[in-house]
Amino acid sequence: MSHYRSNLRDTVFTLFEVLGREEVLGTGPWEDLDRESVEAILDELDHLARTKLSDSFASSDRQPPVFDPDTHTVTVPEAFKRSYRALLDSGAWQLELPADLGGQPSPPSLQWAANELLLGANPAAFLYAAGPKMAQVLWREGTERDRKLAQLMVEREWAATMVLTEPEAGSDVGAGRTKAYPQADGTWHVEGVKRFITSAEHDLTENIVHLVLARPVGVEGKGGPGTKGLSLFLVPKFHVDLETGELGERNGAVTTGLEHKMGIKASATGEVTFGAQGTPAVGWLLGDVHDGIAQMFHIIEYARMMVGTKAIATLSSGYLNALAYAKERVQGPDLTRAADKTAPRTTIVNHPDVRRSLMTQKAGVEGMRALVLFTASVQDRVALAASEGRVDDEAVRLNDLLLPVVKGYGSERSWVLLGTESLQTFGGSGYVEDHPLEQYVRDAKIDTLYEGTTAIQGQDLFFRKIVRDRGRALGDLSAQVQGWIDGGGGNGRLKEERELLQTALTDTAGIVEAMIGNAMGSQVPGQERDIYLVGLNTTRLLMALGDVVCGWLLLRGAEVALARLGEDQPAGEQAFYEGKVAAARWFARTVLPRLTAERVAAEQTDLSVMDLPEAAF
Ligand code: ST9
Ligand code: FAD
């Protein structure tokens, strides 16, 4: 049986009953899609996820890809290759590509609903399959030459990597030292060592295109310090005849080591040396413009959404595995008969503490699924406007605001819930390889780290998405939440929850207010260190905002579910809607009240921890 347990019913509920996605189907670039066809696509991918795609999940963890240091090659296990093939053959990646690049355009809300299934079933396969999608960046940002490469990447299913990190440049990408030297023929020679590169080397595809950030040398006004001095170079593993697609000599971009990781072992993470093996690493400048960090951020934005979705997908399967186990595992008497040594033993799902844990998992994951799909629905607006030659500025800003929440909050909450609740539900059995939980916990830890750690997401949220945006997107989001609170839906049955959400919204606004006050205070000469007060609270704000958005979306779902509960329907549907209401109430009553304490902590933050000598830690 597959390790992967999906929850398509909740996805469909969120897409259509809560977020009204029919609105965008059958319109503009998506005129061929309707609810029925979208559900059929999801059904098919769900089947793939629970069969061929997930088949190699555990085996490729136990026998991961092997690196040969003599040939600098990586061999991927055969079972994994079959899963990868099935993923590509499904054509799921085409949903994300424009028609002129061989895609079958679809709304981002459908794409992310589909991606949850694929990422939950086999995240490493999804990562290797990034090539055709990354080709989009070449297609959008590139010259005719780059566009030819993009077409080859799609037609020939070449893989691609995003190459930023160096030993001295992790979060601080601008500290990168890799250089690029211009050549007389218009190409560049890239020189340097990059590390931690996902899909750096493997035998799944005939070619790999590396998208590399490096500092151009000898070009006036370019190549200065920091991220703005970086340019983006396309460096293929094998040289390519762009007219015929024929592969030439091996290029000088060579994998010189493979990491031995805690999790996601099927995904090969390598050190890549550019130009140090006697062969130059020849590349060319994307779009012939020196705009590297902005170009790379097109990929990073996608990848941050992807990492948050991956984390949540894993938690969802973790919860459903835990739920199934809790319904079968018999242990101990019912608490009401604890003193009676002859009392019958009960399944653990009947113990209050197990119920607390299961409902905490259910509410957490369903709230975060709604967060992902709500963000994707904002991306629907962005894409729809773009297809009409417009920019929906409000949607762009809101999406920008939500991305660090999806990535930062999504990964943190998912990993903690996976470990403290989903695995815990299994007792000692969760710790051994008989169940997927121990692998889930190892595999999901990376999500709080790559594509910018949680600290980076918190800073991005406050400094870039709130302060630099002058609070516009946050104001818009708050107004949407407030609008729902004031709307009074739910027929009086969500009154207490509305009040709890109101308090949580006010408390989160209080945290923002305290931080803005500190940021402004730091502008006063002599008070520069007040900016530390902000830095001490950026992660707190990230998590608080995530809680508010999830609470709001869960309650919107509960409002819909309450209306449906009055209708005549099959028992399974009745139970589903009851579960939606219960999860929303649980989240409102047990999670949201904590934000009052977070606000107090934010308001009471002082500089004492910054004044403390290092030796005192
Ligand atoms: C990694 C990969 O970890 C792990 C998984 C592998 C996944 C592979 C497969 C992925 C699938 C890909 C499919 C592709 C599909 C693509 C479809 C696309 C169509 N938003 O604040 P400043 C820019 S990889 C947008 O001064 P610092 C902006 O241009 C490693 N742009 O930064 C800005 O200029 P301006 C991941 C942003 O202080 C400029 O940067 N590593 C944003 O110089 C400078 O901004 C990391 O993520 C943003 N949020 O540098 C590094 N932020 O201001 C984490 C910045 O004029 N570190 N820009 O607009 C950071 O993010 C740092 O904050 C820093 C700081 C490097 C940006
Ligand atoms: P550091 O930046 O050294 O951070 C260490 C700690 O300090 C973290 O807790 C961090 O939050 C904190 N910190 C650092 N700076 C600040 C600050 N200014 N304020 C507050 N806290 C801070 N990179 C690629 O380019 N391409 C890839 O494909 C890729 N894949 C990866 C796959 C794996 C399995 C791994 C482990 C990493 C991968 N990375 C990749 C690199 C990844 O993006 C970085 O590891 C990540 O950005 C963090 O950098 P770092 O590891 O150097 O940590």
CB-based contacts of 486, cutoff 8 Å, min separation 6: none
* Whole-number Å distance between alpha carbons of 58 and 430: 15
Rg (CA), the chain: 25
How many A from CA of 448 to the centre of ligand 2?
A: 10
- In 3-state terms, what secondary structure has residue 80? helix
Q: Is 505 a member of any domain?
A: yes
3-state secondary structure of 329: coil
User: 599 lies in a domain?
Assistant: yes
**Residue 134 CB–ligand 1 contact under 6 Å:** yes
- Closest residue to atom 26 of ligand 1, CA basis: 227
Q: Report the phi/psi class of residue 246: left, alpha or beta, with left for phi > 0 and alpha for psi in -120 to 50.
A: beta
Name the 3-class secondary structure at 248.
strand
Mean pLDDT of 455-462: 98
Tell me if residue 114 falls in helix, strand or coil: helix
Q: Which amino acid is at 143?
A: T
Q: Is 17 left (phi over 0), alpha (psi -120 to 50) or beta?
A: alpha
**Residue 246 pLDDT:** 97
| Strand extents, DSSP E, 397-461 | none
In a domain, 395, yes or no: no
Query: Around Cβ 388, how many Cβ atoms within 10 Å?
Result: 10
| Whole-number average pLDDT of the chain | 97
Ligand 2: residue whose CA is nearest its atom 12: 455
State percent of the chain over pLDDT 90. Answer: 98
pLDDT tops 80 at residue 464: yes
**454 within domain boundaries:** no
Boundary of a domain, candidates 266, 290, 314? 290
The answer on pLDDT for 490 being more than 80 is: no
Tally of domains in the chain: 2
Average pLDDT, integer, range 454-472: 98
Task: Kindly state whether residue 499 falls inside one of the protein's structural domains.
Answer: yes
Six-digit token string for 505 = 């919204």
Burial of 375 from C-beta contacts in 10 A (0-12 / 13-18 / 19+): buried
Please check whether residue 225 lies inside any domain of the structure.
Answer: yes
Q: For residues 486-500, give the mean pLDDT.
A: 91
Contacts of residue 342, Cβ cutoff 8 Å, sequence gap at least 6: none
Residue 502 has pLDDT above 80, yes or no: yes
Cβ of residue 160 lying under 6 Å from some atom of ligand 2: no
Residues whose CB is less than 8 angstroms from the CB of residue 144 and which lie 6 or more positions away in sequence, other chains included: none
Bridge-based pairing of strands 159-163 and 208-216 is: parallel
Q: Are 217 and 223 in contact (CB under 8 A)?
A: yes
* Whole-number pLDDT of residue 333: 98
Q: Residue range 467-480: average pLDDT?
A: 98
Task: Choose the weakest-confidence range: 275-284, 431-440, 531-540.
Answer: 275-284
Whether 99 and 30 have beta carbons less than 8 Å apart is answered as no
Would you tell me how many other CB atoms lie within 10 Å of the CB of residue 597? 10
Range of the domain at 585: 468-606
Q: Looking at residue 185, which CATH number applies to its domain?
A: 2.40.110.20
Q: Which of 115, 227, 261 to mutate to test the pocket of ligand 1 (most atoms within 8 A of CB)?
A: 227
Q: Is the pTM of this model over 0.90?
A: yes
Q: How far is the CA of 165 from the centre of ligand 2 (A)?
A: 8
The pLDDT of residue 11: 98
For residue 285, being part of any structural domain is answered with yes
pLDDT at 491 (0 to 100): 78
Query: pLDDT, tens digit, for every residue of 130-139?
Result: 999 999 999 9
Predicted confidence (pLDDT) per residue in 555-595, tens digit: 999 999 999 998 999 999 999 999 999 999 999 999 999 99
Over 80: is that where the pLDDT of 277 sits? Answer: no
Q: What is the pLDDT of residues 201-248, one digit of tens each?
A: 999 999 999 999 999 999 999 999 999 999 999 999 999 999 999 999
Q: What is the largest CA-CA distance in the chain?
A: 88
Asked if residue 42 is part of any domain, the answer here is no
The domain boundary residue, chosen from 290, 322, 350 = 290
Contact in structure between 176 and 196 (CB atoms under 8 Å):
no
Confidence of residue 489 (pLDDT cuts 50, 70, 90): confident
pLDDT band at 278 (very low <50, low <70, confident <90, very high): confident
For 64, residues 6+ apart whose C-beta sits below 8 A from its C-beta are 77, 265, 266, 268
